Each structure stands twice: as C-alpha cells, then as structure tokens.
Amino acid sequence: MPDLTLTPTPPLDGYAQDFAGTRLAEASELAIVAVATPAGGETALEAAVKAAYGTGTPAPGASILSKDGKARLVWSGPDQMFLLFTHDAPDAEAGVAAALGQAGYCTDQTGVWAALEISGPGVRGALERLCPLDLHPDAFAEGAAARTVMEHMGAFVIRTGSDAFLLLSASSSAKSFLHAVELSVRNTA
C-alpha cells in the first residue's frame, strides 16, 4: 500500500471576506457533536452536562455557552442538542463522550456541516432576504438558535453577539450556501 497523507480541508477552503459593514468568514476549526438524550435519561444527562460544562442543557430555541466559554450548547430538537467548540483534530466525538460518560448518545457531525460567521452592522439586512425567521433583536435574543431553510437549503442560525451570527449548513452544498449569503451581502452592502 502506498503511503498516503490525508489533509483535512474545510468545506469552504477557509473563506473570509470583508464587505462594507459586514464580515463573512468560515469557522473552519469548529467541531460539532450531537448529543441525544436516552429515553428517561434527562436527569442523568442534565447532571453530566452540568459536571462537564458547568451549565444546564439549552432550552428550546436557545443556546448557551459553557462556563469556560469554550463550548456552545445548542438546542437542536426535542431531546437533542449540538455541542460546538473549536477543535482541530478528528476526535471531537470521543472527547465529548468521555466528558459525559454514558449519559448521552454522541454523534460526530463535524464533517457534515459548513460553518459561516457573519457579523457587522449590515448583518440583518443581508440575512432578512434569505431567512424566514424574525431576526430583530427583540425577537431573536443573543444566544437564540433556530433551524430553518434559506434558499432551499437547511440551516442553523445562531446569534453569537449583538450583530454576529453563526450559520451552519450542509457541507455538501456549502458553496451554494456561501453563494446565496455572499450575494445577499453584496446586494445589501
């Protein structure tokens, strides 16, 4: 067998660009692990999450940062959440599974999502043409997280700052998603 060296490549090749009022950049070292609650195991998972991350599990439509601020826990559905954290190695799931013990079912989702950070004063103007959610600060508080559809592509929208959002969409259609968002940013700049 020949010696092969595989080099991981983020789905958008580390894209980053500044526009008037808006910055658009791929979050390329973001690990994503889904944690599902075993039937009847809500209390045990809550305790394990508290011990490992110093916080409770997120409420529907919300996300919360871990106590050390390094991981974001995102509500993704009934009895399920996504853990997002910066991690530059292909073993994110093992780390979360070890931290939670047997309290949750962990699935590595890192490779299937493309993550795009969008920030700046023009961010809502660019997103409102694509996103059916109400992203007004009064309706979508900091930390709010929702899964929706943008330009026919499924996407997570997570508000990470006052004018900053993290968007996740399927890595298989990452470039189409980037095209849609970038075009909207250009059109509204």
| Site for other proteins, rule CB under 8 A | 39, 60-61, 75-78, 132, 146-149, 154
Say if residues 165 and 116 touch (Cβ distance below 8 Å). Answer: no
Tell me whether residue 120 or residue 143 sits nearer to other proteins (CB atom). 143
Tell me whether residue 36 or residue 47 sits nearer to other proteins (CB atom). 36
Nearest approach in angstroms of CB 157 to other proteins is 11
CA pair distance 120, 66, nearest whole angstrom: 24
Nearest approach in angstroms of CB 76 to other proteins is 7
Nearest approach in angstroms of CB 115 to other proteins is 18
Tell me whether residue 44 or residue 170 sits nearer to other proteins (CB atom). 170
Residue found by looking up tokens 């939670």 in the block: 100
List, edge to edge, every strand of the sheet that includes 105-108: 63-65, 71-77, 80-86, 30-36, 105-108
Length of the chain: 189
Residue found by looking up tokens 């390329």 in the block: 28
Tell me whether residue 59 or residue 89 sits nearer to other proteins (CB atom). 59
